[in-house]
Structure 1
Amino acid sequence: MKAYQYVVLRLVPRVDREEFINVGVVLYCQDADFLDAAWELDDARVAAFAPMCDAAGVRGMLERIRALCRGETGRGLPTLDKPGQRFGWIIAPRSTVVQPGPVHGGLTEHPAAELAHLIDRLVRMDHA
């Protein structure tokens, strides 16, 4: 079994209200040299929760996070060589529409499968 850490990505359309919905997960497993993000944005849910929210802009932010996890650079992404550095950048608190929640941990043999499981359990409404 390998130890991993993860954060839930939250859509926080109005930071002053501190209300959010879960829209993604970032999972980091140092022993497996694994860092990836998965996300799902339900347009109807976003429209009901935050009618003025720019869903296309949120999708862009989520794609940038996934690109950073995969080590891509450019487009305003920081150049960070190691997965642990990129995970540290992602989990840093920020006051933007997409924010990381607290860091949690667990054990897994298959980090990619665990990421899929966490998306099902923590983001998708039909698996709540």
Structure 2
Amino acid sequence: MTTRMTPYEYAIIQAVPRIERGELINVGVLLYSQRHDFLCARTHLDPARLRALDAGADVDAIQKALDAWEMTCRGGGASEQMRLGERFRWLVAPRSTILRAGPVHMGLTADPAVELERLVGLLVH
């Protein structure tokens, strides 16, 4: 028996502590699978890496913003009435803020939760 692979989309969540410099670190992955009805953000903020780009970075504020991304995926706050695909598109929309999503990429997986953990290990840690 073969495992059925289905498409998913993902974007790397990036912290840009000083937008004028354009430097960034990867702080999470956002993964959406329509077929699996799955949307999740997994984040990891390394304060030392962040402060290497900006010694005065507000780590607590950035962590709160990351927490808000995760809450949006779960349907908290203003996103409660949005479908998963709408939430994903809203989160990956271009913006000039301290957090942003990189380009959207696609892949195939049998289990989006397992794939999300794999991507976080590969792209963030």
TM category (shorter chain) comes to: over 0.9
| 1:24 paired to 2:25 | no
Deviation at 1:45? Answer: 1.3
Gaps of 5+ in 1: none
Matched, 1:9 2:13: yes
Deviant stretches of 4+, over 3 Å: 77-80
Map Cα deviations across residues 87-121 of structure 1 (whole Å, 9 max, x no partner): 01000001000011000010000000100000000
Post-superposition Cα deviations, 1:67-92, rounded to whole Å, max 9, x if no partner, equal 0001112xxx3444210000010000
Query: Contact conserved, 1:9 with 1:25, CA < 8 A, in 2?
Result: yes
**What SS does structure 1 have at the residue aligned with 2:114?**
helix
TM-score (norm 1): 0.91
| Alpha-carbon separation, structure 1, partners of 2:24 and 2:34 | 29
Query: Are the equivalent residues in 1 in contact too, given 2:16–2:25 (CA < 8 A)?
Result: yes
Match of 2:66 in 1: 62
- The aligned amino acid for 1:118 is L
Unaligned runs of 5+ in 2: none
Identity %: 44
Q: Distance in 2 between matches of 1:95 and 1:35?
A: 23
In the other structure, the counterpart of 1:87 is 88
SS in 2 for 1:31: coil
Return the alpha-carbon distance in structure 1 between the equivalents of residues 6 and 115 of structure 2: 11
Corresponding residue number in structure 2 for 1:113: 114
SS in structure 1 at match of 2:86: helix
Q: TM-score, normalised by structure 2?
A: 0.93
